[in-house]
Amino acid sequence: MRLALFDKGRLGLVDGDALVDVTDQLAPFASSPSGALHQYIERAERGEAPRFDLSSGARVPLAEAALEAPLPRPGKIIGAPVNYLDHKAEMEYTTSIADLGVFLKANSSVIGPGQDILLPYTDKRTDQEGELGVVIGRTAAKVSAENALDHVFGYTCVLDITVRSGEDRSTRKSFDTFTPIGPWVVTADEIPDPDALELRCDVAGETRQHTDTADLIFGVRQLIAYTSSVMTLHPGDVIATGTPAGVGPLHHGDRVVLDIERVGRLEVGVDGSGATAYAERPGL
Ligand code: MN
């Protein structure tokens, strides 16, 4: 299944070139900041998720649907620093994920398809990082790599937008709009091996990143095992698995397109009209 949010929080199931509104099949459904898909994932963990009936519910042509972030406020967004060797080389880093561990991004940084990344600074680079996103489906605490995929609900495209400044990682990656997610979540049954997916990220019409998730230093299984040894993962948490080589600066008016095999294609814009000089950060 491909599950999306659209039209101010409605839950849609992709069926061919249409989106079927299945919100009412989730009843009783209480509107919440974490959204309808998050509620569905939590129910699925308890074995209480409805089986969707595609014959009922309004059908909207996918091309006309106003898609939103499928998980507008995840409980946690976990990032994997330096998890591809070619990215380690391009940044001239001496350490990788095995030394650094994982980091957290603010859950308020999420935006959805078609929205704009807002550049904060006129004189510091803000880079795109195209990444495979893992959506947790079952509570995971100290799980083995062997059992890790049993805890995955599905996969999505994640852009881990990052300022290249001297600030802490959690600051540089947590600006509002710095975590575009979508266009939907594809359930794990459609991705037999998350460590063998082609990933491509284009900016302003040029391909900047092109890799296979087979090149991850910590593959998805190992990343879940390691992360869950540190912190309990809950349904709806999102892990951004790390970026390959090809990160680069974003400019006002750019379109960023992240395409991951079997998962989907996420497209967002870039708006630098509110950027200020780094030395003029509020509060200094
Ligand atoms: Mn990243």
Q: Does 168 lie in the same domain as 41?
A: no
- Same-domain check for residues 262 and 224: yes
Are residue 20 and residue 137 in the same domain, yes or no? no
Give distance in angstroms: CA of 243 to centre of ligand 1. Answer: 5
Contact 116, 268 (CB under 8 A): yes
Q: How far apart are CA 231 and CA 75, in angstroms?
A: 12
- Predicted local confidence at residue 282, as pLDDT: 85
Domain match, 53 and 147 both = no
- Of 50, 68, 86, which residue sits at a domain end? 68
Q: How far is the CA of 81 from the centre of ligand 1 (A)?
A: 6
Count of domains forming the chain: 2
Domain CATH for 190: 3.90.850.10
* pLDDT for 239: 98
Picking from 23, 40, 68, the residue at the C-terminal end of a domain is 68
Q: What confidence score (pLDDT) does residue 127 get?
A: 98
Structure tokens at 236: 């709806």
| CA 47 – ligand 1 centroid, Å | 33
Are 88 and 179 part of one and the same domain? yes
What's the gap in Å between 29 CA and the centre of ligand 1?
Answer: 34
Domain residues for the domain of 84 are 77-280
Cβ within 8 Å of residue 139, ≥6 positions away = 45, 151, 232, 233, 234, 235
Query: Distance from the CA of 273 to the center of ligand 1, in angstroms?
Result: 24
Q: Are 239 and 80 in contact (CB under 8 A)?
A: yes
Do 64 and 82 reside in the same domain of the chain? no
pLDDT for 179: 98
CA-wise closest residue to 156 among 252, 265, 13, 25? 265
The reply to whether 221 and 108 lie within a common domain is yes
Low-confidence stretches of the chain (pLDDT < 50) are none
Q: Are 103 and 58 in a shared domain? A: no
Clarify whether residues 190 and 86 are in a common domain: yes
Sign of CA dihedral 207, 83, 187, 269: negative
CA 132 / ligand 1 centre spacing (Å): 10
Convert the pLDDT of each residue in 27-79 to its tens digit: 777 788 999 999 999 999 999 999 999 998 899 999 999 999 999 999 999 99
Residues 215, 193, single domain; the answer is yes
Tell whether 60 and 89 lie within a shared domain. no
d(CA 139, CA 238): 12
Same domain, 21 and 119: no
